[in-house]
A = this chain, B = another copy of it.
Amino acid sequence: MATIYQVSELAGVSLATVSRVMNGNTRVSEAKRTKVLEAMKELNYRPNSIAQSLASNCTNSVGLLVSELYGPFFGEMMSGVEGELRAAGKHVIVAAGHSDEASEKDAIEFLISRKCDALILHVDAVSDQYLLELNQSGTPVVVINRSIPGLMENCICLNNQLGGYLATKTLLEMGHRKVAYVSGPMWKTDVRDRVAGHRRALQEFDCVVPDSLFIEGDFHEEGGVKAMLQLLQQPEPFTAVVCANDEMACGVMNCARDNNLDVPGDLSVMGFDNVIMSRYTFPHLTTIDFPSGEMGRMAANWVRQHIYQDSKKPVQNLFEPTVVMRDSVRGLA
């Protein structure tokens, strides 16, 4: 592999000049510039970005930490981040945090040691305090789907409260009153927000729902099945169930069918996230759209703005969820 030194020699100029034509930040005479470019082409020169990073103290790489690398939700998000950053010539280093504090911290350390210029994080387990300190300590951080007091500028959030509200309100407007709720793990902030929205909608409609129609699930399909079984075993009747994500909604629908309940004839089911799969289920799932790809792109845009100063697109910190009407919900006659 050719080095800058060989290029400078072939072009008959100094190292510095070659560096300057590469970076284009200082003026170089047209004559030398073309000479250098020719030499580069002839030697098939490609700058060693490691050396560039060391010298310039800028790695042109950003760390991306998600809970899991698989799953439709993170896939779209990562895709958004990568697309936007690669268009800007930046590298994406990925890691998975598995929603576990030790693992998340470990991954962050890992990314920092690689001297990422910034970190894009989707984390549940580490504390707000930790993230604040992290950002203070010199590694700029942008956080997806979590709002951190004192760091709001760096957060790209979905209005989860509104999402929860819309989900339940949609059903209430269609005449449902006995609305069950299958939540995610309550230690997650976004989960609590969704629940809060749900409660707000109920209140608005003066609707009181017994506690036994509220189940804390685990965000997985099996959790949805279990939750539905639990609902069927308790005495309170219900005509609809709102789920905190699409996977659990799938489980609920499958379990309902196994118990000879028709969806949406006997039971309406509402999901949350609008993952790709929700279009393919039977019946097609009515859900709340979570623009994860766009939010990923926006996080990357934040980095381009604040770290690389190469984007003029404004940063949108808060995204609004919308209802996606499909076939798993039906109005009460």
Q: A32-40, A92-100, A118-126, A156-164: which one contacts chain B?
A: A92-100
Contacting pair B95 A93 (CB below 8 A): no
A50 within 8 A of B: yes
CB-CB nearest in chain B for A224: B280
A91 contact from B47, B54, B110, B251, Cβ within 8 A: B110
Q: What residues of B have a CB within 8 angstroms of the CB of A257 in the complex?
A: 282
Q: Could you tell me the distance between the alpha carbons of A1 and B107 in the complex, rounded to whole angstroms?
A: 19
Contacting pair B75 A96 (CB below 8 A): no
Interface size on A, residues (CB 8 A): 52
Given known A-B contacts A91-B93, A91-B114, A280 and B250 have beta carbons under 8 A apart = yes
A254 within 8 A of B: yes
Q: What residues of B have a CB within 8 angstroms of the CB of A71 in the complex?
A: 72, 75, 276
Q: What residues of B have a CB within 8 angstroms of the CB of A83 in the complex?
A: 96
CB-CB nearest in chain B for A55: B54
A113 within 8 A of B: yes
Q: Could you tell me the distance between the alpha carbons of A115 and B71 in the complex, rounded to whole angstroms?
A: 29
Given known A-B contacts A53-B50, A115-B48, A1 and B96 have beta carbons under 8 A apart = no
A112 within 8 A of B: yes
- Using CB atoms and an 8 Å cutoff, list the residues of chain A in contact with chain B: 1, 46-51, 53-54, 59, 61, 68-72, 74-76, 78-79, 82-83, 86, 91-96, 107, 109-110, 112-115, 138, 221, 247, 250-251, 253-254, 257, 276-277, 279-282, 293
Q: Which 7 residue pairs of A and B lie closest in terms of their CB atoms, listed nearest first? A: A70-B75, A282-B282, A69-B79, A250-B280, A69-B78, A70-B79, A277-B277
- Between A and B, 6 residue pairs with Cβ closer than 8 Å are A50-B114, A68-B75, A70-B72, A93-B94, A221-B280, A257-B282
